[in-house]
Amino acid sequence: MTESLSNAVVMVEGLHCAGCIRKIESAFEKDPDIETARVNFSNHRLYLVWNGPQEKVETYIKRVQNLGFGAYPFSPDEEVELKKAQQKRILLALAVAGFAMGNVMLISIALWITDIDTMGEGTRQLLQWLSALIALPAIFFSGQLFFQSAYKALSHSKTNMDVPISVALILTTAISLWGMFNHQEHIYFDSALMLMFFLLVGRYLDMRAQGQATQAATDILGHLNETYTGINSNGDKTEYRVSDLLPGMEIVIEAGRRFPVDGIVVKGESDVDAALITGETLPVNIEKGTNLYAGTINLSAPVIFKVQKIADESVTEKIKTLLGQATKNKSTYMRIADRAAQIYTPLVHSLALITFVFWLFYMKADWQTSLMIAVSVLIITCPCALGLAVPVVHVLAIGKLLKKGVILKSGDALERLQKITNIVFDKTGVLTTGQAQLMDDYDQDIFKKAASLALHSHHPLSKALVKAYDGETAEMTNIIEYPGKGIEGQYKGRVVRLGRRGWIAPDIENDNASVQTWFDDGHVQTPFYFSDSLRNNASETIKYFKSQNIEVSLLTGDKKDQANKIATQSNINDVHAEKLPEDKFDFIENFSKQNKKSLMVGDGLNDAAALAAADVSMAPSSAVDLTQDTADIVFMGDSLEPVKATYKIARHSQKMVKQNFTLAVVYNVIAIPFAMGGFVTPVIAAIAMSASSLIVIANSFRLNRVQL
């Protein structure tokens, strides 16, 4: 008999590369009870589904711990505090290592450029002791991040990337101490500190760049503790939390508040902003019998609303679920540096061991000479250049993109962006400004009176009408606002009104699909038409992507006629309108099934799941908080130009990364034979290692010359 399925999310500490992910997932592959075991590198979470009782999660957590990783049940609050503590710890270790490296390098320059006859034995020993006094506490303190991780892995008969790093640090320090106590000419504390500093730089940048999409998923239902006024059958009022609402309950939704769950209007009339859910460009009128989704905002007047679904079944909860699915799907992404380091690091340190054995037993050298040559191999093949290949380019790309108003949030977003085959735009707020703009020209006298009356209304269309008018206003008196209908006033003793067609001119037939508000000056009824205009450079941006053989699609919850109109203006042929959040999610998921790579650009709550499902995602700074949290990249301003600029930077930065790796490999191919042959002293090895890092940095700075 098959037991019921249980599931859990486990936080994992100590993930550094693709090998870590495979090590954990493979530990569950042969377990017959495990249905799913997937590690998400971006948020360091292990998603488990198994046949059996929930209590069995403790056994699985212990299994991960036995592999040498820290593991504990996921808790959003604890995760936030842990990440802050880890980031603070790495930053402090980096500061100490940098301070020590700078000072020891200054001392080392004197030791390198001056011989013993000029300096004197006493001065040399003093400088060496000063180097040791600075270096040893720094190595002990900052190196704990590597030592503790390596010890944890070795104590469980496992290895990880921190094991060879720790070996290099300890050996270099030990050789330096031995050389100092035995009055040797050279010591290598500077090499150990430099190695540690550059590795910590990469570790810190990697932590800062970790994905944040799942934090958005945990925040999406933060409104569940809000309270709403409920009305029972006797007319009595009671306060309910959103999480306590049940189907059939009637609650009051005041103007300015969100509808907390899915349901239906049973009394009242108002206007709502449904853009976050449906993508509707402008306010929509609602009345008795109108069905609404959670997340819709009431704009004009209070309404009585009957709950049809509990919070866990509402559209926002569906989006949260989709976010979780999409985030787990991203576990296959590995950073280039980690993939390369997985092969590179064990190979290099195996060569150092082979070198030591070769010189000690085959060449019959003493152990000090053999160990010095082995350490030279470790130093000259130090993964500094490899470790800098991605972070330096990443930092330069961030700086260049910031100047274009682009904030890069995910560490591997550029790597994923340069591989896209499809780009999908939402309409409202992305291709368009998301704000109503007045169309056409109007009689100035009527325009003046309509704008003067609109001054007294907070309705979005009234604000757009006022914004479009730049003349003198007329005096309006006896202002009365009718919720869900419009506003009324008096001009020179005559009643004038501005509002819905059904209220102003119910007998006039009007099939124009454009959004409109009507004005009645007592003599004639005049419609004012509004539209949503394209962002600056929208057409040029789409043209550029097409020139790169990237397919462009428009995916929106708005009406077909509005979507087709914007698509025509922006030269997009593939249009998908009137789509709900789950439809958008499925649309993006289909690209993965077809082995295509997609970029999704969206701004609304209804885009959040699709953004998470896409291979890479972007959102404007005007987007809702959830969407900005979910997106890999956020851009500012009213132009769509940053989307094109980011793609250009992605292409060039990945070229730089590949060039950096090539330079690092070529350097090691040349340097390793010389070091293994005993032709390189640790001093020369340290200089060569530093030079390789500088070459990588210099090549990375070529990114600044890219024209956007």
β-strand partners of 575: 554
Structure tokens at 503: 């209220």
User: Element (H or E) spanning 266, and its range?
Assistant: strand 263-267
- The full 3-state SS of 446-479, as one line of letters, equals HHHHHHHHHCCCCCHHHHHHHHHCCCCCCCCEEE
Mind giving me the DSSP string for 22-67?
HHHHHHHHT-TTEEEEEEETTTTEEEEEEES-GGGHHHHHHHHHHT
The two three-digit tokens of residue 682, written as one number: 């640790």
Contact assessment for residue 497 and residue 488, using Cβ atoms and an 8 Å cutoff:
yes
How far is it, in rounded angstroms, from Cα 175 to Cα 172? 5
Q: Collect all residues with Cβ–Cβ distance below 8 Å to 196 and sequence separation of at least 6.
A: 97, 101, 138, 139, 142, 143, 146, 169
DSSP annotation of 430: I
Cα(184)–Cα(124) distance, rounded to whole angstroms?
10
**Catalytic residue status for 574:** no
Q: Strand 486-491 relative to strand 494-499: parallel, antiparallel, unpaired?
A: antiparallel
* CA–CA separation, 708 and 705 (whole Å): 9
Active-site choice (162, 338, 412, 426)? 426
Residues 6 or more apart in contact with residue 684 via CB below 8 angstroms? 376, 380
Element (DSSP H or E) covering residue 270: strand 270-273
- 509, 502 Cβ separation under 8 angstroms: no
Closest CA to 534 of 641, 640, 406: 640
Can you state the percent helix, strand and coil of the chain, rounding each to 5? Answer: 55, 20, 25
Residue of 585, 613, 555 lying closest to 428 (CA atoms):
555
Of 599, 621, 615, give the one whose Cα is nearest residue 542.
Answer: 599
Phi first, then psi: what are they for 48, rounded to 5°?
-120, 140
Tokens standing for 291?
């069905």
State the catalytic residues: 426
